[in-house]
Amino acid sequence: MASSPDEDSMTQSICKNSDPNTEIENSNIKIPIQRRRCRNPPELEETNKEMKKAFSTLNSELYKQQTKDSEDNCDLYGKLLAKKLRQFTDIEKQE
């Protein structure tokens, strides 16, 4: 399969082109050449940071909720008793 001279010149111009953001014009055909994307684009890095922050916030709130649920009746009774004692005046506390 022999290629035409136009195709050969187009292939040569593609190979010779060193700037990755240029467009090659050859016989009214524009072929856009895009630069290769970096491994971790900035958009993904920013999104990744926000997701980590959201997950850490969620995990901390879940942990707080679990510690609240671990209180038993004795803990609640002690808190209620302390609240009642704080309401007494100093004179009533001494009696």
47-73 pLDDT tens trace = 999 999 999 999 999 988 877 767 778
Q: Which of 12-21, 46-55, 86-95 has the lowest mean pLDDT?
A: 12-21
Q: What is the DSSP string of the chain?
A: -PPPHHHHHHHHHHHH---TT-EEEETTEEEE-PPPPPSS-HHHHHHHHHHHHHHHHHHHHHHHHHHHHT--HHHHHHHHHHHHHHHS-HHHHH-
47 residue type, one letter? T
